[in-house]
Structure 1
Amino acid sequence: MLPKRIVITGGASGLGFALAQLAAKAGWRVAIVDRDVERGEAVITSLQRKQPQSCFIPCDVTRLSDLERVAKELQERWQGVDVVVNNAGVAQVGKLVDTSISDWQWIMDINVLGVVRGCKVFIPMLQQQGGGHLINVASMAGLLDVPNMSAYNASKAAVVSLSETLQNELAEDNIHVAAVCPSFFRTNLGQGMRSTIENMDDKLEKLMSKSKLNATDIAKAIMRTIERQESYTLPHKQGRNAWYLKRFLPRSWYRKLLHKTVKKHS
């Protein structure tokens, strides 16, 4: 049996690269696609030591033609893929009134339409093969509603909703779809982050440093989700608990707890 074939957008660093390392170690053929060509070329050798057929393909998820080129190359190179991970994303922090429309367009083009493009390009391939896995990386921000993150929250909520919808649409095609919703963990999310809040870089670093999980832990959770064909990956216990409270408590009670928690960590 041939090893699984996985393609990961935003795969040259952070969570994407941590997942690539685990997959390559397991013998999977790994394609990391990323717009950071220098970084991609620098890290692909380490993956090829684990799995020689792994590759790096430059790609900007804001361009449908780039993703179509990736799909075509992997069809020619591997005769298809088994797992598609739409991981590429960016962050924006600030009150709604302080966030420009151009920042909204920027984050939606990457976080939402980047995932949409990845799904649109690879779903026909998975259907033709008779099945596969579609893993969309969202965030607990897509399930909760932390203040001062309206654009980011909305973009990740869209990814969750898209994933849930595709679970229904693709069930008969034997395509497993999951939404990955981690809380803060140490990664490179702050690089390129846009913010209208003073000292947000320091605050983000503080939040990430408190996490008990790192990128490899999240990647391991994604591998389990693929194996078990689960609908959600919610790796942080505190995040899961907050989501349960939101779902089952009266809204007024949940909001009080949320604001108390935000104040504690601000």
Structure 2
Amino acid sequence: MTGRRVLVTGAASGLGAALTAAFRERGDEVLATDLPSVVEERAERALKPLHPLDITSDADWQAAVAAVRERWGGLDVLVNNAGVAGGGRVDVCTLEEWQWITDINLFGAVRGTRAFVPMLKDQRSGHLVNVASLAGLVHPAGMASYNAVKAAVVAFTETCGHELASYGIRASVVCPSYFRTNLMDSMQGSDDVVGQVVGQLVERSRVTAEEIAAAVLAGIDAGEQVIVPDEAARQAFRLKWADRHGYDAVMRDQAAKLDALGGAR
């Protein structure tokens, strides 16, 4: 199906930009959004314009609904992609860091969904796509805050799928492993060791944002509720359910390595 009306958050770079390009290449219309500061910076550089949308702002979400209504009269796909990187061992990561990542990575998707669901209900159609992470399905050491919010996005998406099915609305959650992106530019946290390790994993990955985007669109087309778009993520998820003892051993070995690098606290 092409010619859909799509809104993508965090569309200036990384997976958001790749998704925007992939949708447009197949003939879909896309309202690409990002932070007002990013929109302004791109305008100064004469780059392709974006619609300003701070996903932590209810007012910005209502403005996005109004823009969609004026432009198209409705929406077919809402992609809650925008997010930040964070984490840290449980006794290092501060409560302020927990609140920061929760407000963006979880409540950003919640705000967007709540803003657009009335429109989708009225038209009795639509597809919610929330970008979580493999961390929402498997939970490596040193990433408690990130794991927790991404797992919450998985649970939130599944719940929306159940609640909204009778209105003809579908919901999918995307759970990729590490891939090459600029997500680490947003990394914050007191645990420098975790930041270094995660940064190396992103840098070493051979998977591109464009490859993830292509797999996401294929999953949307297939109506998949949980889209696990790369082989590394699929292998890790299978290990957890097929060999829980082996999975736990891998995760605890990673925890020991973090302590060796950063010192047990």
Q: Secondary structure at the match of 1:167?
A: helix
Aligned pairs for 1:24-173 within 5 A: 24-35=24-35, 36-41=38-43, 46=48, 56-173=50-167
Q: Could you say if the C-alpha distance between residues 148 and 227 of structure 1 is closer, same or farther in structure 2, counting changes exceeding 3 Å?
A: same
Q: Secondary structure at the match of 2:186?
A: coil
Q: Secondary structure at the match of 1:178?
A: strand
Identity of aligned residues (%): 39
Q: What is the alpha-carbon root mean square deviation over aligned residues?
A: 2.3
Q: Which moved more, 1:223-232 or 1:140-149?
A: 223-232
Tell me how far 1:210 sits from its aligned partner. Answer: 2.6
Q: Distance in 2 between matches of 1:125 and 1:44?
A: 33
- Quote the residue 2:11 is aligned against: 11
Q: Which moved more, 1:23-32 or 1:155-164?
A: 23-32
* Kept after mapping to 2: 8 A contact 1:44/1:56: no
Q: Could you say if the C-alpha distance between residues 148 and 84 of structure 1 is closer, same or farther in structure 2, counting changes exceeding 3 Å?
A: same
2:207 to 193, 205, 213: 213
**What TM-score results when the alignment is normalised by the length of structure 1?**
0.89
Q: Secondary structure at the match of 1:102?
A: helix
Q: Could you say if the C-alpha distance between residues 262 and 236 of structure 1 is closer, same or farther in structure 2, counting changes exceeding 3 Å?
A: farther
Which ranges of structure 1 fall in alignment gaps of 5 or more residues? 47-54
Aligned length: 257
* Kept after mapping to 2: 8 A contact 1:12/1:43: no
Tell me how far 1:199 sits from its aligned partner. Answer: 5.4
* Kept after mapping to 1: 8 A contact 2:4/2:28: yes
Tell me how far 1:260 sits from its aligned partner. Answer: 4.1
**What TM-score results when the alignment is normalised by the length of structure 2?**
0.89
- Quote the residue 2:227 is aligned against: 233
Q: Distance in 1 between matches of 2:206 and 2:42?
A: 28
Q: Could you say if the C-alpha distance between residues 203 and 58 of structure 1 is closer, same or farther in structure 2, counting changes exceeding 3 Å?
A: same
- Quote the residue 1:177 is aligned against: 171
1:258 to 223, 236, 251: 251
Q: Distance in 1 between matches of 2:178 and 2:51?
A: 28
Q: Could you say if the C-alpha distance between residues 57 and 263 of structure 1 is closer, same or farther in structure 2, counting changes exceeding 3 Å?
A: same
Q: Secondary structure at the match of 1:96?
A: coil
Q: Distance in 2 between matches of 1:200 and 1:110?
A: 20
Tell me how far 1:2 sits from its aligned partner. Answer: 8.1
Q: Could you say if the C-alpha distance between residues 105 and 58 of structure 1 is closer, same or farther in structure 2, counting changes exceeding 3 Å?
A: same
Q: Which moved more, 1:201-210 or 1:3-12?
A: 201-210
